[in-house]
């Protein structure tokens, strides 16, 4: 039990359960099948977007171009199917490759130039977005194949669970294994903790940084294509609003932007909290402006809680060392 | 067979403006503990960086196990079994002890995933060599500093290190913890055949555990692989501080004023100083002498209000005062501090000459709305820049493009411009060539003659004896004694040495 308390995600889990229960008691409509369905749909792509940002936070960098990559992949995916008549699996494959290429470009330029990823991805954000607008001429692709549309609308049996959510669940699981059980994942965290130490141990910076950016691009690509399934069309503005939420969930989940500390489970719960609260405010018919304010307060709270816990740990260590 | 596992012969290394190593030689015997000593700037860290592949020597040989080798980066050094335990800890704080030890060779399961049970088992082996009773699953951030230090050594051993460099390993350890560390070091030398290069300023430690000693001074060998049995403290200190340099005969004019400008009475500080008493007269140069770590810089930082004085009195111009911050030290009490670390604390490297020189005077010359023009600044600081003969193409040159000596002149000019009454000058000539050094010495004397009172911190004995009017010897955050300086090197230096050892 004591071990549970030490976990980053434990407090968040309690927040999710308590807030979920409280809302359900006050407004039973919260648990209606339709509402749960909407909730899970929004979680499904937000989760992947958050993980795409989280892996870059893990190495102590930022990826401002997550949304631009997602958007570029989304319109490439729908455009290939509509204009080029490419089959769905091939379009998915090409979409993933584009995402990974974009990520590779981010990582490669960052490593080779030694300039901060913040600046590099700020530049590529505009490049990717520009390509997007050049291809689409700001017009959406409407002719999405039925199979894709059906996938976006399908539910599992008679439950309100959207089919879409299977993909983020699998990805979250794989990401957990990657960050906790693979050497590459651990090296990323070590690098995020201290670039200098990591290099002294013989961890290759370029490998770590490029791999993280490629994975980030891969995840952004999946999120982009999921949104196409969900919207049933490929609009050029997909991804425009991803950037800030992509940071919100990992930060609520205790991630430190300086790097080296991220948690897949806590990030997922962060997504859940943001989604539940946004949904609740809708149910309570609260002005949408408040959603923003609420999100801001959530982030502040999360950061304060983490700071306080660190402070406590520090105090505990001081007591130990004075023994 | 060669008895040395590591040898550096006649290595030279220059950095812009400084010759860091001048024909330096170093020989490490197998399974021995070798002390590498020298004052700040003597070339120790350059030598270590050559051994660990961070720098490459300009000329000279690096011989590992009898073969000449080239190290291009720290990774190469690791391959030859050379590992360094830095003052800054190189553990990943949020990882467990076990994971840290095995980080670049993690055991895996059949599926290719990390096997944490195996990590615990394998890392225990290394912890056991050091008699460390730590659960490998403990997070590093939960360890005490001493245990982190030992884990670093365990990590180095797990990298199959045969040559271990320890840079000031006891600087943050208690005496008890240091004792444990030393018995472990002796053990790994005896049982694992590891050779250790030990860098420390604490001479008692050197006598306690080292077999051989190499002393560097101004980048040259003051002694090479001397058997510790042939040395005593006195000899070692003399080797470190040297006495070859010529003493500038002081030509002070008016040093006999009895106008006390600053007095400290029974001062205690939060950093651990006790019973500090000193009096500084107008136009006087007081020297603070001591080995590194004696608490001299720290005392001055308390005086200017960066750290707290907890007890005792500070009296300026006859009035008891409290100095809360470096800002009020400068503006209210006209005390300036020229940092020993001019790159980090003294100058803003990416700003130009004008901005750096004028930083202390902005608040004096700004107009009502806080507006400061370059013209106003130039008028104020130009006389000082030219008085100090700063060699710069223009006032708009970036500080980082100037030589070390000129950078130091800018540091001084900055405080001159501020019109300070008391100037604290910390290690003014470290890493500065002889010519500029002589010039800075003349400058300090001239400043004092013109009425500024100076507190000079220096580890350079000849510099101290040529400049100071009286010398306060510090050790371990206390004053051991005051020596009236008659500028006779032999008598004064032996008095200073006596005080260091009491």
**Number of domains chain A contains:** 1
Q: What is the pLDDT of residue B345?
A: 63
Describe the strand order of the beta sheet including B285-289 as a list of residue ranges.
B335-338, B422-426, B453-457, B285-289, B470-475, B478-484
Average pLDDT, chain B: 83
Residue B243 DSSP SS3: coil
Report CA torsion sign: B121, B123, B129, B132.
Answer: negative
- Per-residue pLDDT, averaged over A85-106, amounts to 96
ipTM of the complex: 0.82
Any idea what the CATH number is for the domain that residue A231 is in?
1.10.3470
The 3-state secondary structure of A36-81, one letter per residue: HHHHHHHHHHHHHHHHHHHHHHHCCCCCCCHHHHHHHHHHHHHHHH
Q: What is the pLDDT of residue B214?
A: 94
> Looking at chain A, which residue has its C-alpha nearest residue B143?
A317
> Looking at chain A, which residue has its C-alpha nearest residue B145?
A321
Residues 6+ apart with CB under 8 A from A214: A100, A103, A104, A107
Cα gap B249→B462, rounded to integer Å: 11
Establish if A18 belongs to a structural domain: no
Q: What is the pLDDT of residue A263?
A: 92
Per-residue pLDDT tens digits for B44-67: 888 988 998 888 899 999 999 888
Of B224, B200, B189, B201, nearest to B7 by C-alpha is B224
Is residue A299 within a helix (H) or strand (E), and if so which, with residue range? helix A288-321
- Is residue B245 left, alpha or beta, with left meaning phi > 0 and alpha meaning psi from -120 to 50? beta
* Residue B244 scores a pLDDT above 80: no
> Looking at chain B, which residue has its C-alpha nearest residue A178?
B113
* Residue B327 scores a pLDDT above 90: no
**Which candidate in B103, B110, B161 is best for mutational testing of the A interface (most A CBs within 10 A)?**
B103
Report CA torsion sign: B132, B135, B138, B144.
Answer: negative
Cβ-Cβ contacts under 8 Å, A57 against chain B:
none
Cβ-Cβ contacts under 8 Å, A196 against chain B:
90
Residues 6+ apart with CB under 8 A from A134: none
- Both tokens of residue A38? 């909407």
Torsion, Cα B459 B465 B471 B474, to 10 degrees, reads: 20
Establish if A147 belongs to a structural domain: yes
Cβ-Cβ contacts under 8 Å, A320 against chain B:
142, 144
Which residues on chain A place their C-beta less than 8 Å from a C-beta of chain B?
Answer: 177, 180-183, 186-187, 189-190, 193-194, 196-203, 260-261, 313, 317, 320-321
> Which member of B90, B99, B144 has the closest CB to residue A321?
B144
Nearest Cα of chain B lies from the Cα of A208 at a distance, in angstroms, of 13
Cβ-Cβ contacts under 8 Å, B141 against chain A:
313, 317
Of A71, A64, A89, A53, nearest to A219 by C-alpha is A53
B335 with B360: CB under 8 angstroms? no
* Residue A237 scores a pLDDT above 80: yes
Average pLDDT, chain A: 90
Nearest Cα of chain B lies from the Cα of A192 at a distance, in angstroms, of 9
* Residue A255 scores a pLDDT above 70: yes
Cβ-Cβ contacts under 8 Å, A202 against chain B:
75, 78, 104
DSSP character string of B54-75: SS--SEEEEEETTEE----SHH
* DSSP state letter for A163: G
Cβ-Cβ contacts under 8 Å, A261 against chain B:
94
Cα gap B458→B412, rounded to integer Å: 16
**Which candidate in B72, B94, B143, B159 is best for mutational testing of the A interface (most A CBs within 10 A)?**
B94
Contact criterion met (CB < 8 Å) for B95 and A187? no
Cα gap B26→B269, rounded to integer Å: 41
CA–CA–CA angle B163, B166, B170 (5° rounding): 150
Rg (CA), chain B: 25
Cα gap B224→B320, rounded to integer Å: 52
- Per-residue pLDDT, averaged over B26-33, amounts to 92
How far, CA to CA in Å, does B250 sit from each of B54, B256, B258, B261, B432? 42, 14, 19, 22, 21
Cβ neighbours of A18 (radius 10 Å): 10
> Which member of B90, B114, B141 has the closest CB to residue A183?
B114
Establish if A66 belongs to a structural domain: yes
Is residue B263 within a helix (H) or strand (E), and if so which, with residue range? strand B260-269
Cβ-Cβ contacts under 8 Å, B113 against chain A:
177, 181-182
> Which member of A181, A200, A317 has the closest CB to residue B74?
A200
Domain range holding A180?
33-322
Contact criterion met (CB < 8 Å) for B112 and A313? no
Contact criterion met (CB < 8 Å) for A194 and B92? yes
Establish if A298 belongs to a structural domain: yes
Contact criterion met (CB < 8 Å) for B94 and A193? yes
Q: What is the pLDDT of residue B499?
A: 85
Of A209, A213, A225, A228, nearest to A93 by C-alpha is A225
Torsion, Cα A57 A58 A60 A63, to 10 degrees, reads: -30
Q: What is the pLDDT of residue B272?
A: 85
Contact criterion met (CB < 8 Å) for B114 and A186? yes
- Per-residue pLDDT, averaged over B246-270, amounts to 75
pTM, full prediction: 0.74
Contact criterion met (CB < 8 Å) for A200 and B90? yes
Cα gap A209→B472, rounded to integer Å: 53
- Least reliable range by pLDDT among B141-145, B165-169, B364-368: B364-368
Cβ-Cβ contacts under 8 Å, A183 against chain B:
106, 108, 114
CA–CA–CA angle B233, B238, B244 (5° rounding): 170
> Which member of B90, B112, B144 has the closest CB to residue A320?
B144
Per-residue pLDDT tens digits for B412-448: 778 777 778 899 998 887 766 666 777 788 888 888 8
Nearest Cα of chain B lies from the Cα of A184 at a distance, in angstroms, of 10
- Both tokens of residue A226? 């999921």
Per-residue pLDDT tens digits for A39-95: 999 899 999 999 999 999 999 999 999 999 999 999 999 999 999 999 999 999 999
Q: What is the pLDDT of residue B379?
A: 76
Look up tokens 């555990």; give the residue: B209
Cα gap B55→B58, rounded to integer Å: 9
Q: What is the pLDDT of residue B254?
A: 58
* Beta strand extents in A192-259 (DSSP E only): none
Nearest Cα of chain B lies from the Cα of A200 at a distance, in angstroms, of 7
Exposure class string for B58-84: b at 16+ Cβ within 10 A, else e: eebebbbbeeeeebeebeebbebbbbb
Contact criterion met (CB < 8 Å) for B92 and A197? yes
Establish if A9 belongs to a structural domain: no
How far, CA to CA in Å, does A245 sit from each of A41, A295, B392? 16, 9, 51
Report CA B260 to chain centroid distance, whole Å: 31
DSSP character string of B308-323: -EEEEEEEETTEEE--
B454 with B285: CB under 8 angstroms? yes
- Both tokens of residue B87? 């003052």
Nearest Cα of chain A lies from the Cα of B118 at a distance, in angstroms, of 13
Report CA B390 to chain centroid distance, whole Å: 26
Nearest Cα of chain B lies from the Cα of A195 at a distance, in angstroms, of 10
Cβ neighbours of B439 (radius 10 Å): 18
Describe the strand order of the beta sheet including B220-227 as a list of residue ranges.
B82-85, B163-167, B195-199, B33-37, B212-217, B220-227
Q: What is the pLDDT of residue B461?
A: 80
The better pLDDT of the pair A124, B469 is held by A124
* DSSP state letter for A16: H
Q: What is the pLDDT of residue A321?
A: 45
The better pLDDT of the pair B158, B87 is held by B158
Is residue B225 within a helix (H) or strand (E), and if so which, with residue range? strand B220-227
Nearest Cα of chain A lies from the Cα of B102 at a distance, in angstroms, of 10
A290 with A281: CB under 8 angstroms? yes
Instruction: Tell me the pLDDT band of B1, cut-offs 50, 70 and 90.
Output: very low
Of B324, B460, B466, B345, nearest to B414 by C-alpha is B345
Q: What is the pLDDT of residue B366?
A: 63
- Both tokens of residue B15? 């950095």
Nearest Cα of chain A lies from the Cα of B94 at a distance, in angstroms, of 8
Establish if A60 belongs to a structural domain: yes
Q: What is the pLDDT of residue B152?
A: 86
Tally DSSP H helices, then E strands, for chain A. Answer: 14, 0
> Looking at chain B, which residue has its C-alpha nearest residue A312?
B142
**Phi, psi (5° rounding) for residue B100?**
-60, -40
Residue A311: exposure state from Cβ atoms within 10 A (0-12, 13-18, ≥19): exposed
Look up tokens 């960086």; give the residue: B49
Q: What is the pLDDT of residue B368?
A: 53
- Per-residue pLDDT, averaged over B264-268, amounts to 92
Q: List the alpha helices (DSSP H) in B116-202.
A: 116-129, 145-158, 175-192
* Residue B367 scores a pLDDT above 80: no
Q: What is the pLDDT of residue B243?
A: 54
Cα gap B425→A262, rounded to integer Å: 46
């Amino acid at each position: 039990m004591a071990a549970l308390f030490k976990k980053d995600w434990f407090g968040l889990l309690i927040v999710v359960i308590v807030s979920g229960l409280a809302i359900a008691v006050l407004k039973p409509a919260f648990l209606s099948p339709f509402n749960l369905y909407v909730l899970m749909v929004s979680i499904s792509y937000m989760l992947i977007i958050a993980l795409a940002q989280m892996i870059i936070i893990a190495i102590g960098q930022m990826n401002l171009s997550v949304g631009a990559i997602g958007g570029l992949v989304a319109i490439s995916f729908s455009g290939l199917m509509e204009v080029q008549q490419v089959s769905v699996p091939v379009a998915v494959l090409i979409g993933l490759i584009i995402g990974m290429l974009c990520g590779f470009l981010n990582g490669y330029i960052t490593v080779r130039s030694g300039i901060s990823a913040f600046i590099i991805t700020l530049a590529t954000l505009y490049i990717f977005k520009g390509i997007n607008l050049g291809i689409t001429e700001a017009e959406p692709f409407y002719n999405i194949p039925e199979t894709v549309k059906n996938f976006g609308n399908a539910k599992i049996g008679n439950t309100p669970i959207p089919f879409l959510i299977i993909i983020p669940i699998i990805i979250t699981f794989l990401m957990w294994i990657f960050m906790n059980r693979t050497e590459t994942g651990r090296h990323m965290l070590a690098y995020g903790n201290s670039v200098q130490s990591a290099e002294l141990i013989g961890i290759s910076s370029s490998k770590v940084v490029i791999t993280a950016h490629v994975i980030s691009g891969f995840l952004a690509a999946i999120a982009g294509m999921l949104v196409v399934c969900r919207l049933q069309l490929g609009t050029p503005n997909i991804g425009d609003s991803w950037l800030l939420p992509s940071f919100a969930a990992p930060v609520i989940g205790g991630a430190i932007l300086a790097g080296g500390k991220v948690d897949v489970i806590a990030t997922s719960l962060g997504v859940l909290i943001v989604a539940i609260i946004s949904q609740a405010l809708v149910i309570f018919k609260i002005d949408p402006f408040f959603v923003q304010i609420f999100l801001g307060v959530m982030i502040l709270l999360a950061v304060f809680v983490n700071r306080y816990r660190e402070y406590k740990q520090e105090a505990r260590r001081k007591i130990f060392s004075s023994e | 067979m060669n008895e040395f596992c590591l040898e550096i012969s006649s290595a030279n290394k220059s950095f812009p403006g400084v010759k860091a190593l001048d024909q330096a030689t170093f020989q490490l015997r197998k399974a021995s503990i070798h002390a590498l000593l020298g004052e700040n700037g003597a070339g120790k860290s350059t030598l270590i960086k050559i051994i660990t592949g961070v720098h490459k020597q300009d000329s000279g040989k690096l011989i590992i196990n009898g073969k000449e080798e080239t190290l291009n980066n720290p990774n190469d050094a690791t391959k030859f079994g050379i590992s360094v335990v830095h003052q800054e800890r190189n553990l990943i704080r949020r990882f467990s002890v076990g994971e840290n030890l095995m980080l670049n060779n993690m055991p895996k399961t059949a599926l290719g995933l990390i096997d944490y049970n195996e990590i615990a088992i394998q890392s225990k082996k290394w912890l056991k060599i050091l008699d460390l009773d730590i659960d490998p699953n403990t997070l590093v951030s939960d360890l005490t500093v001493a245990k982190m230090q030992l884990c670093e050594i365990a990590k180095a051993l797990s990298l199959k290190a045969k040559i271990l460099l320890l840079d000031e390993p006891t600087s943050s350890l208690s005496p008890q913890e240091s004792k444990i560390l030393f018995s472990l070091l002796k053990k790994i030398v005896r049982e694992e055949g590891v050779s250790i290069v030990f860098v420390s300023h604490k001479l008692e430690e050197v006598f306690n555990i080292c077999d051989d000693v190499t002393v560097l001074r101004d980048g040259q060998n003051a002694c090479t692989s001397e058997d510790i049995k042939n040395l005593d403290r006195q000899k070692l200190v003399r080797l470190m501080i040297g006495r070859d340099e010529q003493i500038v005969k002081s030509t002070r004019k008016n040093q006999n004023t009895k106008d006390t400008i600053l007095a400290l009475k029974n001062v205690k500080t939060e950093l651990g100083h006790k019973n500090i008493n000193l009096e500084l007269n107008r136009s006087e140069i007081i020297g603070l002498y001591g080995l590194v770590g004696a608490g001299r810089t720290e005392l001055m930082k308390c005086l200017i209000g960066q750290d707290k004085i907890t007890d005792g009195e500070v009296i300026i111009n006859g009035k008891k005062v409290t100095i809360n911050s470096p800002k009020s030290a400068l503006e209210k009490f006209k005390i300036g501090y020229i940092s020993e670390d001019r790159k980090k604390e003294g100058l803003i490297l990416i700003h130009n000459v004008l901005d750096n020189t004028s930083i202390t005077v902005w608040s004096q010359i700004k107009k009502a709305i806080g507006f400061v023009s370059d013209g106003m600044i130039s008028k104020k600081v130009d006389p000082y820049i030219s008085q100090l003969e700063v060699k710069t193409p223009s006032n708009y040159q970036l500080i980082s493009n100037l030589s070390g000596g000129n950078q130091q002149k800018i540091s001084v000019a900055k405080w001159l411009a501020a019109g300070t009454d008391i100037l604290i000058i910390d290690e003014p000539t470290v890493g500065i060539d002889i010519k500029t050094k002589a010039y800075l010495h003349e400058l300090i004397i001239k400043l004092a003659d013109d009425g500024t009172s100076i507190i000079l911190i220096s580890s350079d004995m000849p510099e101290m004896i040529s400049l100071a009017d009286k010398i306060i010897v510090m050790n371990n955050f206390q004053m051991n004694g005051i020596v009236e300086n008659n500028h006779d090197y032999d008598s004064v230096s032996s008095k200073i040495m006596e005080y260091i050892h009491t």
